[in-house]
A and B are shown apart, each in its own frame.
Chain A
Amino acid sequence: MNEKEFIDKWEKDKPLYDKWGSFVVEQICEQLQAEGIDLKAFLKIPAKHRIKDDSSLIDKAFYRSDKSYDDPYNQIEDKVGARFVVLLLEDIEKIQRVIESSANWSYDPCKHFDIDKKKAPLLFTYQSVHYILHPNDNGLDLDGLKVPSDIKCEVQIRTLLQHAHAELTHDQIYKATKDVQPEVHRTVAKSMALIETTDDFFKEVSQKLNYGPLEQHQVVPRLNSLYRTYTGLEPHSQKSSITIWDTYEKFIDEKLVDNINSFVEQNSFISELIKSNYPRNSFYQQSVVLFVYWMLKNKKRRLVNDWPLKRDILELLANDLGIKILDA
C-alpha cells in the first residue's frame, strides 16, 4: 500500500473509526456512572475520543525512523484513541475492570506500567495502561453503521501525575528542535521516579482516609438497607454520621450489623419511633440512628462519655429506650 492508497482508505474508513471511538468512550463512561461514580470528579480531564490527524498518521506510517511496518495501515492501532486521566492508581483499576468485563468488544492489553516495571526494573520512563479495543468477530452495528472487527481504538489510562510526565516528554522532548542532552533525559527519568513515589504516597493516603472497618464490613450500605427494610423510608446520611462512626470506630466489627439487626428485630417499636420522628428531626433520617440506639442499650457509658454531637439528641433517644443517662 503506497501513500496515496493509504490516504484513500483512511478517508473512507474515518467515519467508522470516529463512530467506534465515540462508542467506546460512551460505554466506559456509562458503566462507571452505573457503578455510582461521579464522572466530573473522577475523570481529571473529560474523556473524548480523538482521530489521529492525517499528517502525523502519514509520518508514523512512512517516515519515522524508529517505526517500520510491513502493513502500516493495519499495524498502526491508534488511528482513533481515547484517554482517561484519573487521580489515583486504584482509579485506573476501576476503569480496567470496566473495560475487561464489557461484552461490547474484544480487547488486547498492550501496555501496563506494572509489567514494564518487571521487565525493566531499573528504568524510569513513560507510564500508562493501554488497551486496544475492537468489535467482536462479527462486527457491530452502530446506528446503521456496520463497524467490522478490524477497526481498533487505543484506550490510554493513567494518573494525573503520569499524564504530566507524558505531556512533558511528548510536547517538550519529542518535538524538541535540538539534540536533547543526556542530563535532560536524566532529569526526566528522575522526575518519573519521583512521580511513581508520589503516586504510591497518594494511594497510601487515600487508603488511610477511605478504608477502615466501616468500609471493610460495608457497615453504611448494610445499615441503610436495614433502615429501609424496617421503616420503608429512605435514609439520608449527613456529616454528623461520619463524626459518630469516627468516634466509635473501635466497636465496628463484622458482627455489628447483625447485632443491630437482631436488636431492632426484638424492639420492633424502634421502627415506629423512627417513622414518627422522621419528618421532625433529621437525626432520625440517618441510618446511624440504629447504631446509636444499639450503643445506648449495650455500651451506654462509652456512648455518653464520648458523644461528639449536641446532648439533646442523646436525651431524645434515651427517652425512647427509657435508659437513664444522667450522672446524678
Chain B
Amino acid sequence: MHLVNMEIERIIIHQVYQRDEDGKRVAPLQSHEFTRFEASAMNEFKARVRDALGDDSKAVQMEIVNQSPRDLVTLIDAMSKQKDEDFAVSSYDIATKLTEAQQRKSIPGGIVVVFQGKQGHPQTDFLGVIKAEVHSGYQKEQDPKTKEISLKFVEEVLLTPGQRLYKTAAFFKNPNYVDKADDNEDMNDKWVVMVSDYQISKADGKAAAEYFYSDFLGCGYPQTSARTTKHFFDATKDFIQDLDASVEEKYDLFNALTTYLKVDTSSSISASDFAEKYFEDIDTQDEYVAYLKALDLPTTSFTKDIKHIESSLKTRKVNFGGSVKLIAPSDAFLDLVSIETIDGEPNEAGEVKEWTKIIIKNKVVNQE
C-alpha cells in the first residue's frame, strides 16, 4: 500500500519534444523554478498521483533491471538527498533520459513532472515522474453582461483526470531498508517501483509501453508474477466457492475466472478489475477486494503470468453428488455446456431434492 499520508515537497516541470522529421532528438526545455501549487491545485495534483498509483489503481510493481551508474535509478537514488539547486539540475537529466528513450518518431512530446515527497507511516521518501501528453480542450467563458456561456478553445491542456494521456512512475523507499554502504547492493532492496501506464493494461500494449518502463525507467516485469497469479487464482476460487450464491451464478463466475486469466489478453490484472467486471453487486465487489487484500495479494494491479496454472485453466471440473464428475476443456465449458438447478421428483417421503440439468450442445461420440 503506497501513497498513504502523502506529502509533496518539491515539483519541477520540463518540456520534452517529439523527434523531428529526420528522427533526431530535440533537447528538452529546462525550467529552473520549482512549481508551487496553491492548496486546491495541490490537492488536485495529489488526486492525479493517487488515482494513478494508489490502492486499487492500475499501477503495477516492477523490478529494477538496469542499475549501472548511468541508469535512472542511480539518479533517483542521489536526488532524494539533494538540495534544491542540484535537484533541479538532476530533474532535467530525467527529462533528457526520457527524450533518449523516446526513439520512435510517433511518440508525442509533452511535459515531464518530477516530484518528490514523503508517504507512509512513518513517512519515507518517494520520487515520482509523470510524462503528460499535451492535448487540446475547451475552457468555459461567461460574458459578464449577458451571462451567456461560450467555449474557448485551448490548444494545450494537461493532466486532466482521464489517465490515457499520462504515464506515471514512482520510486518508493523501502521503510525497512538499512543502509549497508555497499556499492553492489540490489537497488530493489532500497526502492519499490510502481508504474502506471494504460498501455500496459491494454491488450497487446506491452510493446507500446516498453519505451517508458524499460528504456526510460530501466525496469522489467517482476519474476514473482507467476506466483502472484496462481495465488490470485486460488484465492478467487475459494471466494467464489464460499459465496452465498446459486449454483448457476457460481458456475458463471468460475467460467469468468477462466476467461479473465486465459482469454483476456491484457497483460496486467487486479482484484478490483475482476470484481468490477464480474460481480454485479457492489457489496460483493467490496468484500472480494477486501478478501484478497487480507491474503496479502497486491492492492494495485500486477502482471499476469499463468505459467503455474496453465493445466488448471486448460480443463474444468464440476463434481456432483453420487461421484458423478463432468470434465471438459475450459473452452468447451464456455461454449457447449450449460448447467441449471431444478427441483427433483418427490421421493417416498414427499421431499423434493435439488437436481441438476446439464445440457451438452453436442452428440455422444463414444461410450464404454
* Interface, chain A (partner B; CB < 8 A): 267-269, 273, 298-302, 305, 315-316, 318-326, 328
Residue among B2, B43, B57, B286 making CB contact with A301, cutoff 8 Å? B286
Q: Which residue of A lies closest to B46 (CB)?
A: A319
B56 on the interface (CB 8 Å rule)? yes
Cα A175 to Cα B122 with chains together (Å): 80
Contacts of B1 in A (CB 8 A): 322
Cα A301 to Cα B275 with chains together (Å): 10
Residue among A267, A316, A321 making CB contact with B43, cutoff 8 Å? A316
Cβ contact within 8 Å between A328 and B282: no
Contacts of A321 in B (CB 8 A): 4, 54-55
Cβ contact within 8 Å between A328 and B161: yes
* Interface, chain B (partner A; CB < 8 A): 1-6, 43, 46-47, 50-57, 119, 121, 161-163, 275-276, 282-283, 285-286, 289-290
Contacts of A316 in B (CB 8 A): 43
Cα A268 to Cα B275 with chains together (Å): 30
Residue among A267, A268, A269, A324 making CB contact with B51, cutoff 8 Å? A324
Contacts of A320 in B (CB 8 A): 4-5
Cβ contact within 8 Å between B51 and A325: yes
7 A-B contacts (beta carbon < 8 Å) = A300-B286, A301-B276, A301-B289, A319-B43, A322-B55, A322-B119, A326-B51
Cβ contact within 8 Å between A315 and B282: no
Contacts of B52 in A (CB 8 A): 324
Cα A177 to Cα B289 with chains together (Å): 80
Cα A319 to Cα B285 with chains together (Å): 22
Cα A321 to Cα B51 with chains together (Å): 11
Cα A324 to Cα B289 with chains together (Å): 13
Contacts of A324 in B (CB 8 A): 50-52, 54-57
CB distance from A266 to the nearest CB of B (A): 9
Cβ contact within 8 Å between A298 and B5: no
Cβ contact within 8 Å between B3 and A315: no
Cβ contact within 8 Å between A273 and B5: yes
CB distance from B282 to the nearest CB of A (A): 5
Task: Sort A-B residue pairs by CB-CB distance and give the 4 closest, nearest first.
Answer: A322-B3, A322-B54, A269-B121, A324-B57
Cα A310 to Cα B310 with chains together (Å): 47
Cα A93 to Cα B191 with chains together (Å): 65
CB distance from A134 to the nearest CB of B (A): 60
Q: Which residue of A lies closest to B162 (CB)?
A: A328
Contacts of B162 in A (CB 8 A): 328
Cα A19 to Cα B43 with chains together (Å): 65
CB distance from B98 to the nearest CB of A (A): 23
Residue among B57, B119, B286 making CB contact with A302, cutoff 8 Å? B286
Cβ contact within 8 Å between A300 and B56: yes
CB distance from B295 to the nearest CB of A (A): 15
Contacts of B43 in A (CB 8 A): 315-316, 319
Q: Which residue of B lies closest to A250 (CB)?
A: B283
Contacts A269-B5, A323-B50 hold; do A302 and B282 have CB atoms under 8 A apart? yes
Cβ contact within 8 Å between A305 and B282: yes
Which of B52, B163, B283 has the most C-beta atoms of chain A within 10 angstroms of its own C-beta?
B283
Cα A319 to Cα B46 with chains together (Å): 6
Q: Which residue of B lies closest to A315 (CB)?
A: B47
Cβ contact within 8 Å between A301 and B282: yes
Contacts of A328 in B (CB 8 A): 51, 161-163
Residue among A267, A269, A299, A318 making CB contact with B283, cutoff 8 Å? A299
CB distance from B168 to the nearest CB of A (A): 12
Cβ contact within 8 Å between A323 and B286: no
Given A269-B5, A328-B161, list of 8 further CB < 8 A pairs?
A302-B283, A319-B43, A319-B47, A321-B54, A322-B4, A324-B54, A325-B51, A328-B51
